[in-house]
Amino acid sequence: MIKRVIIFIVMLLLVTPVTTHADMIMGNEFHDENQDDTISIDWSRRFTANSPNGYVIPVKEPGSKKSISTKHSYPSGWSEYNEDEQPKYNVFAFENGKVFHLEAAYLHDGEYWGVMSPSHVYQPTGWVRMSDVLMEYNKYDFERQNQDSFYEYTNEIYEEFISADRIVVWQWPGSDREKYIYDRYNYKSDFSEVHYAYKDEDGREWGYFGEFVNWVCLSDIANKSNIPSFNPAPQSIAWNPDGVYDWGNGEVTVHSPKKPKLPPKSPKIESITDIANSIPYLVNNIPFLLVAGAAFAIVVYGVRQSKANKSNKSDKSDKN
């Protein structure tokens, strides 16, 4: 009987609607209400803060002056293992040069704003002016610029990859960005197919292995010759809504970072207002909390009853 009750409760928990902490901070109400009027930004895009003020402070919606408190921030991402990534102020703020992602842009009073998409880093779901950020060059920009030079690669190379002590992966041929190393412990079957190839000015062949692997120099898989970063990323540029970019041309003003004059982040809930901010989360989760509490009580009761039954049987056995 107890087992049936537990199974029923588990099923009830699975179908009970739950508003998690992530739901509270992952979504942005303004974005959700105006999503059809936004311009999507590819997740591969990275932006850097570049405000004349020396920093940017995300706000709750375009044109708003309401910043975002760090007291109820998502704790898992800016890990306790990295002090530099933890929020330092009572509201979220990014000094110039700080890198983050933007999910979409929205035109408000003639000015574009970008909404941050929270991830496992120090990044809230807030809005910043697109004029206060610069967009970084990435592998897709390289591919658009060089797609006429790509060709089909027909040689068999899979066995060479499987037997290699290490494989050096580049974000694009000659990139100056961080390289990734595959060694004998990595999943080398990712290198089963060259989607297309490219030859640089020095005659080295490069192969593109797909979205999650990127580029490898087929002429020097392990990079034993220490290939230089002959194709560094050009200067970051301003975002524009038409999606057409002329990398390497035009002047961009890069502003120096400055520390914002903000109160430091408090680790404690210090006011009635802070407690009130937590109430919507508790209210939205009342059904789940009630079901979970009932489940716990029934399980505890079942365990006690089971022990009592065993004890009674033991007593009867002793009397017999």
Q: What is the pLDDT of residues 33-82, one digit of tens each?
A: 998 999 999 888 999 999 999 999 999 999 999 998 887 555 444 444 45
- pLDDT average, residue stretch 305-316: 62
Q: How many C-beta neighbours within 10 Å does residue 82 have?
A: 11
Whether residues 25 and 129 fall in one domain: yes
Does 251 map to a domain? yes
Confidence of residue 122 (pLDDT cuts 50, 70, 90): low
Whether residues 145 and 208 fall in one domain: yes
The 10s digit of each residue's pLDDT in 232-291 is: 999 999 999 998 888 877 788 999 999 998 888 665 544 444 444 445 444 555 666 676
Q: What pLDDT was estimated at residue 319?
A: 55
Whether residues 117 and 31 fall in one domain: yes
Whether residues 160 and 114 fall in one domain: no
Whether residues 33 and 128 fall in one domain: yes
What does the alpha-carbon distance between residue 234 and residue 236 come to, in Å, rounded to a whole number? 6
Does 197 map to a domain? yes
Does 230 map to a domain? no
Q: What pLDDT was estimated at residue 190?
A: 77
Whether residues 167 and 243 fall in one domain: no
Range of the domain at 292: 1-18+285-320
The 10s digit of each residue's pLDDT in 204-238 is: 999 999 888 899 999 999 999 999 999 999 999 99
Does 225 map to a domain? no
Whether residues 41 and 122 fall in one domain: yes
Whether residues 127 and 178 fall in one domain: no
- pTM flag (> 0.75): no
14 versus 287: the higher-pLDDT residue is: 287
Whether residues 165 and 310 fall in one domain: no
Whether residues 158 and 42 fall in one domain: no
Q: How many C-beta neighbours within 10 Å does residue 197 have?
A: 18
Whether residues 113 and 186 fall in one domain: no
Q: Is beta strand 205-208 parallel, antiparallel or unpaired with respect to 196-199?
A: antiparallel
Task: Share the mean pLDDT of the chain.
Answer: 79
Whether residues 38 and 110 fall in one domain: yes
Looking at the structure of the chain, the number of domains it has is 3
What does the alpha-carbon distance between residue 191 and residue 172 come to, in Å, rounded to a whole number? 16
